[in-house]
């Protein structure tokens, strides 16, 4: 169950200060994410507090994820919040997070939230947690994890992109990432990522005078180059910034291999490069990238059902995080299968892949117990909601993947800077064990 480590203290505080977390009202509205797609925002009022949360959306969604919205999309989801969810939640206590999340499952009645929608469950669950936290005058991360939650994650930032997030003649690989691993503070790490992003822009303009500064959905540069050229530019920027700031900036990749996999051919098709690779050739290709560029992170290197290849790569690429997003889909069931054969050693945590905060917490705890690195992650279609920052701290994720540039990405980064200020001298940066 969710920790809520100070539950006894909160009960005493309730009596002394007459704080009430009883839910009085729920409002659902339709708004837009960073791609201009409709999404759902939920407001929840308690007697003493208020919570608001909005749902993100992915461009490349794994087949094992819950259904984002019911067949009637956001309009139906909004009506269902008013007609089905609100009557069940009003009058309940917002600090009963696990019970409320279980109730959302019961109202939906399916394994994949196809009736209510996973995004509906996500927004309601998170708004409930925020309403409880504000009722006590506490930041969300402390409400969920207690006073001793004091470790900030390392920011994993998308600085150059291709694939579904960029399109056109950009690289086949979806994301080229940077991860500062020895910064003294989160602010320093975030600054390093920004400088790498800026430096890559300068290097791209120097390489191609016709480069117009185009960016993909997550704010990463979207140039007309191939993957190997992109890696060389990112490596140069990382080397320069590492030397200037005395912060070690390492390179990561999100291959998004499920988008390259052609089931009918049983091949990975790299259209930009005009190359097709079978599973063995894909493994050799990835190992060469890891060794030649000293990669620290590779996400979704194989398609979402190839657990065995994930295991083989993790075994051969020691010292590099091999992370599953589409592979695991924040699912305890799929993660358990991966743990059994050591498929990878890291997992992307996207709460709306499973629906509720409790579901995401359980997957994160399972990962940590199996020595998998949990990575709290944004989605390509984001809102300016900042809860992701709090969840990364509350769920003890040593890495947060949340972009570098753009308002919806910077919102999370800036919130972590504020959390760093709240923690003050108690702040610690996560240490990665590779």
pLDDT confidence of residue 166: 64
pLDDT confidence of residue 60: 67
Which residue in the list 226, 350, 401, 412 is annotated as catalytic?
350
Split at pLDDT 50, 70, 90, the class of 416 is very high
Q: Give the start-to-end residue ranges of the domains of the chain.
A: 7-145, 151-429
pLDDT confidence of residue 5: 52
Mean local confidence (pLDDT), 87-95: 97
Residue 36 phi, psi dihedral angles, 5° rounding: 80, 10
Split at pLDDT 50, 70, 90, the class of 1 is very low
Split at pLDDT 50, 70, 90, the class of 165 is low
Mean local confidence (pLDDT), 401-425: 96
pLDDT of 120 over the 80 cut: yes
Which residue in the list 218, 304, 362, 415 is annotated as catalytic?
218
Alpha carbon of 286 to those of 169, 214, 248, 375, 377: distances in Å?
A: 21, 27, 22, 21, 23
pLDDT in tens, 123-147: 999 999 999 999 999 999 999 999 8
Task: Starting at the earlier edge strand, list the strands of the sheet with 38-46.
Answer: 23-32, 38-46, 50-54
Partners of 152 in the β-ladder? 429
Split at pLDDT 50, 70, 90, the class of 366 is very high
Task: Identify the CATH number of the domain defined by range 151-429.
Answer: 3.20.20.120
pLDDT confidence of residue 10: 53
Burial class (CB within 10 angstroms; exposed 0-12, middle 13-18, buried 19+) of 265: exposed
All residues at 6 or more sequence positions from 285 whose CB lies less than 8 Å from its CB, including other chains: 277
Residue 149 · residue 141 · CB < 8 Å = yes
pLDDT of 245 over the 80 cut: yes
Alpha carbon of 59 to those of 15, 74, 305, 379: distances in Å?
A: 47, 17, 19, 8
pLDDT confidence of residue 55: 95
pLDDT of 4 over the 70 cut: no
pLDDT in tens, 320-335: 999 999 999 999 999 9
Residue 42 phi, psi dihedral angles, 5° rounding: -120, 135
Report which listed range, 209-218, 260-269, 425-434, is most confident.
260-269
pLDDT confidence of residue 16: 42
Split at pLDDT 50, 70, 90, the class of 61 is confident
Judge whether 350 counts as a catalytic residue.
yes
Domains 7-145 and 151-429 share a fold: no
pLDDT of 75 over the 50 cut: yes
Mean local confidence (pLDDT), 239-259: 97
Split at pLDDT 50, 70, 90, the class of 167 is low
Average pLDDT value for the chain = 93
CATH architecture assigned to 7-145: 2-Layer Sandwich (3.30)
Residue 118 · residue 354 · CB < 8 Å = yes
pLDDT of 230 over the 60 cut: yes
């Amino acid at each position: 169950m969710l920790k809520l480590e100070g539950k006894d203290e909160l009960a005493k505080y309730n009596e002394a200060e007459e704080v009430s977390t009883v839910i009085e009202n729920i409002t659902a509205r339709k708004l837009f994410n960073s791609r201009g797609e409709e999404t759902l925002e939920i407001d929840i009022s308690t007697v003493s507090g208020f919570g608001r949360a909005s749902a993100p959306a992915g461009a490349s969604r794994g087949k094992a994820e819950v259904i984002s919205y019911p067949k009637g999309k956001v309009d139906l989801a909004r009506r269902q919040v008013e007609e089905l969810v609100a009557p069940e939640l009003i009058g309940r206590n917002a600090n009963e997070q696990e019970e409320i999340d279980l109730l959302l499952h019961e109202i939906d009645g399916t394994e994949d939230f196809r009736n209510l929608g996973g995004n509906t469950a996500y927004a309601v669950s998170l708004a409930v947690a925020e309403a409880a936290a504000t009722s006590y005058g506490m930041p969300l991360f402390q409400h969920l994890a207690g006073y001793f939650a004091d470790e900030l994650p390392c920011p994993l930032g998308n600085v150059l992109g291709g694939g579904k997030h960029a399109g056109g003649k950009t690289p086949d690989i979806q994301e080229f990432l940077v991860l500062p691993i020895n910064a003294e503070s989160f602010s320093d790490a975030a600054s390093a990522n920004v400088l790498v992003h800026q430096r890559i822009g300068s290097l791209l303009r120097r390489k191609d005078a016709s480069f117009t500064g185009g960016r993909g959905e997550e704010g990463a540069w979207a140039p007309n180059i191939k993957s190997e050229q992109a890696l060389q530019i990112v490596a140069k920027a990382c080397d320069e910034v590492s030397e200037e700031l005395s912060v070690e900036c390492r390179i990561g990749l999100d291959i998004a291999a499920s988008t390259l996999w052609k089931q009918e051919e049983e091949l990975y098709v790299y259209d930009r490069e005009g190359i097709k690779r079978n599973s063995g050739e894909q493994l050799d290709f990835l190992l060469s990238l890891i060794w030649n560029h000293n990669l620290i992170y590779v996400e979704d290197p194989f398609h979402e059902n190839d657990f065995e290849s994930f295991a083989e790569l993790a075994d051969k690429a020691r010292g590099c995080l091999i992370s599953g997003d589409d592979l695991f889909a924040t699912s305890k069931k799929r993660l358990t299968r991966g743990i059994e054969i050591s498929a990878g050693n890291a997992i992307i945590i996207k709460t709306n892949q499973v629906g509720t905060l409790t579901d995401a917490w359980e997957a994160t705890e399972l990962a940590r117990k199996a020595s998998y690195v949990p990575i709290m992650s944004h989605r390509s279609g984001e809102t300016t909601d900042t809860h992701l920052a709090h969840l990364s701290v509350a769920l003890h994720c040593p890495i947060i993947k949340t972009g570098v540039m753009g308002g919806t990405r910077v919102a999370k980064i800036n919130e972590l800077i504020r959390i760093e200020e709240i923690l003050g001298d108690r702040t610690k940066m996560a240490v990665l064990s590779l």
